[in-house]
Every structure is written in structure tokens, then in C-alpha cells.
Amino acid sequence: MPSSTSAGTTMGVSVAAPATMDAAGYAALTYTTIGGVESIPAFGATSAVNSFQPLNGPQEKHKGPVNYGSLQIPMATDKADAGQTIMGTLGEPDNNAMGSFIVTFPNGDKRYFRGRVFGSPETVGSATNVLMTNATVEINTKVVKVNAA
């Protein structure tokens, strides 16, 4: 596949859980597009490094617990945007519900996952800034990758 820009990438959210944690299960959900998303940072599984240093020999390294990642999602604040409203509701301190997420690349590739929103603080900045909401999504499941047909 040739390289591509990120322009045109979209992100959506659903409060429903997929019946199965695979492409078919996620695809069956209805997603609400999150408007005003400025950027989506790197995400995906990484493993902690567990190491052991014997007195006589090289250090040994083993894969430890998996962390599926965290997203800091800056959005131009739009109180009328349904996707941002869902993110705000999921991010309330007394709401421990997980959402289902979809990221769709310009070429049609999709990434699905489940996660919790750990807040959506607002940033005012200076007179030359746009009012922003910055949601933190902690990913709790494997990221399911689906390539465009």
C-alpha cells in the first residue's frame, strides 16, 4: 500500500458493546462520529519489559503485562456535536462504562477497540486559540484491525 496522509481520518463512538470482539461484532454496531477531532495519537498494544540480571551472564528480558494504550484526543469544542456529547457523558467521574470506538482511515481501513473515557477537560488558551476539549481514552481491549476491501 502506498503512503497516505491522515487527512480525512474519522473517529466514532458507540455506547453499545459488540456481541463478539471481532470485526463482525464491531461492524454490527452503530457509531456516532466525533466531530472536531484535531489529531489521533499513536495507539496499540505494548508489553512491559520484565528483566532479570543474573550475576553471571547477560540480562534476560521477557514480555510482561500488555497495555493496549491511551489516547489524548483534542477536539474543537462543539456542544451540539453528538459524538462529543457521548464522550463527555462517558468521561463523567461517576461513569465507569466502556465505549466502543472506530477509527477509519482515508483508504477505508478500520481500527476497532473498547475503552473508558477518563475525562474531557477543556482548554481555553489565549485569544488566538480555539476552545478545545481534550478527552483521555484508556484502551482496554485488543485493537481489531480491518483492512479495506
Per-residue pLDDT tens over the stretch 111-121 = 999 999 999 99
128 falls within a domain? yes
Say whether pLDDT at 46 is over 90: yes
How many structural domains does the chain have? Answer: 1
Average pLDDT, the chain: 95
pLDDT in tens, 66-93: 999 999 999 999 999 999 999 999 999 9
CA distance 133 to 122: 4
**Domain boundaries, position 29:** 10-146
1 falls within a domain? no
Closest CA to 147 of 104, 91, 97: 104
3 falls within a domain? no
95 falls within a domain? yes
5 falls within a domain? no
Strand partners, 101: 13, 113
- CATH number of the domain to which 81 belongs: 4.10.410
Burial of 7 (0-12, 13-18, 19+ CB in 10 A): exposed
